[in-house]
């Protein structure tokens, strides 16, 4: 398997993952958007969709380069954009985990 096809398979698997809707009505109400605003879940979902799209763009550029139809500068730029997106996603994940841990340490 080539590197672009492995990456394409990984992105397609990531797109198939969908979060299960919350079963508890209290949780549903907490995640629902407030008046005039959007929910944190919607914002997070949009960010992940953008991340996946950047990965697809980088893969497409790499495949075009391998086929002799692309430009090396476009590939490097797309890969760099994907790398920044991954770093941002990891940072947000780390902050969310730290916030969750802080909340779990709070006395009731």
pTM above 0.75, yes or no: no
Enter the tokens of residue 28.
């549903």
Measured distance CA(30)–CA(22) in Å, rounded: 10
Q: What pLDDT tens digit does each residue of the chain (108 aa) get?
A: 555 565 556 655 555 654 444 444 544 555 555 565 678 788 888 888 888 888 898 899 889 889 888 888 888 998 898 888 889 889 988 999 999 999 999 988
Residue with the two structure tokens 């997106």: 85
Q: Tell me which residue of 87, 22, 23, 21 sits closest to 54, measured CA to CA.
A: 87
Enter the tokens of residue 53.
């799209």
Number of helices (H) and strands (E), helices first, in the chain?
A: 4, 0
What was the pLDDT predicted at 105?
Answer: 94
What was the pLDDT predicted at 22?
Answer: 44
What was the pLDDT predicted at 82?
Answer: 87
């Amino acid at each position: 398997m080539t590197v672009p096809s492995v990456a394409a398979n990984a992105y397609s698997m990531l797109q198939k993952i969908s979060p299960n809707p919350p079963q508890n009505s209290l949780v549903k109400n907490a995640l629902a958007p407030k008046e005039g605003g959007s929910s944190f879940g919607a914002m997070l979902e949009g960010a992940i969709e953008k991340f996946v799209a950047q990965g697809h763009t980088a893969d497409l550029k790499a495949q075009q380069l391998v086929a002799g139809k692309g430009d090396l500068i476009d590939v490097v730029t797309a890969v760099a954009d994907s790398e920044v997106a991954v770093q941002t996603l990891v940072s947000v994940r780390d902050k969310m985990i730290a916030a969750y841990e802080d909340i779990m340490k709070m006395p009731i």
